[in-house]
Structure 1
Amino acid sequence: MPFQALDELLDETIQLPIRGTVYTVPAPSAEVGLRTQALLNAAAVAADGGRVDEQVLGDAAERDLYAEVLGSAHAQMVADAVPWPALKHAALTAMVWITQDKAAAERFWNAGGDPSRLAPNRETRRARSGAARSTSSRGSTSGTSGPRTPPARARGKGNHPRSPGPRSSGTGR
């Protein structure tokens, strides 16, 4: 079977409802997608305390990334006087879509961008999959694995384990 035309297989837009209007965000160009991916990777590295490529952040700062990721929807939102928090949330949602996928963008959008509102869904998924348990299994220990061994005795320099008690050696001790 030959490959089908990709534009027939992919839905290359996301629909964002704001104040009664649905804005269609088109797929970004390859250049915008690659730059967005690089920017978010750099942000993740910076958030983890790593060293960030200044060129990546400098390039992103020079461009209006929100307008680029929203495409034609950006001009419509500005013309409709969409409030800044809504436009920002739309742009961040588009970035999630670009760097991850549509399902992740929907979760981000529906959580209002608040990561704590995403947590219950993860807990629900874990509970459904059986991954989360309310109690430890009987065989579990306090984070250790393998057989339990008694703690080793502290030994000072030149000390050896003592015998259980004094023996009569006939030396008059």
Structure 2
Amino acid sequence: MAFEALDELLDESLPLPIAGTIYRVPAPSAAIGLRTQALINAAAVAADGGAVDEQVLGDAAERDLYADVLGTAHGQMVDDAVPWPALKHAALTAMVWIAQDKSAAETFWNSGGAPSQAAPNRAQRRLAAASSTKSRGSTSGTSGRKAPARAAAKKAAPSR
């Protein structure tokens, strides 16, 4: 068995419908992908109260990131006079696609960019993780035997 050509296996574009037109965002270059990943990671660290990587955030501010992540779709959107909020949402969706995958980008797109709609907050993620994690048994070395029937019956009897 031989490896298939990767470009035949992957759909390397992101179709974004805006006002009746499908804009195809092409896959970014490796350099743009790596820079976008670094920017998103730095933003996440900063949002969690961590130290901000000034180099990463400074570099991103110097470049036209939206044009980079949208590729040829950016020029088409500008030529079609797409409203700024739609272009911004498309660029942020492309960033999610680059940093994660198409499924995450679709969730973000369909949420209208509302983080609360796109993903649970930290407390909800922790609660979900805690509720799905099975509790460990006792490690004290004692067994969890049930009380004898006599003691159980005594507890159930009404007091006088």
TM range (shorter): 0.7 to 0.9
> Partner residue of 1:32?
32
Identity of aligned residues (%): 78
More helix by share: 2
C-alpha deviation, 1:87, in angstroms: 0.3
Q: Deviations over 1:139-169 (max 9, x none)?
A: x9xxxx859xxxxxxxxxxxxxxxxxxxxxx
Question: What amino acid is aligned across from residue 60 of structure 1 in structure 2?
Answer: A
SS in 1 for 2:41: helix
Query: Cα–Cα, structure 1 residues 119 and 33, in superposed 2: closer, same or farther, change >3 Å?
Result: closer
Cα distance between partner residues in 2 of 1:96 and 1:119: 12
Query: Cα–Cα, structure 1 residues 50 and 75, in superposed 2: closer, same or farther, change >3 Å?
Result: same
Uncovered stretches (5+) of structure 1, i.e. residues with no partner: 121-130, 134-139, 148-173
Total equivalences in the alignment: 129
> Partner residue of 2:15?
15
C-alpha deviation, 1:53, in angstroms: 1.6
C-alpha deviation, 1:70, in angstroms: 0.1
Larger radius of gyration: 1
> Partner residue of 2:124?
none
What is the TM-score of this pair, normalised by structure 1? 0.69
What is the TM-score of this pair, normalised by structure 2? 0.74
SS in 2 for 1:15: strand
Question: What amino acid is aligned across from residue 88 of structure 1 in structure 2?
Answer: K
Structure 1 runs of 4+ with >3 Å offset: none
> Partner residue of 2:83?
83
Cα distance between partner residues in 1 of 2:64 and 2:118: 28
> Partner residue of 2:99?
99
SS in 2 for 1:76: helix
C-alpha deviation, 1:82, in angstroms: 0.5
SS in 2 for 1:22: strand
C-alpha deviation, 1:29, in angstroms: 0.3
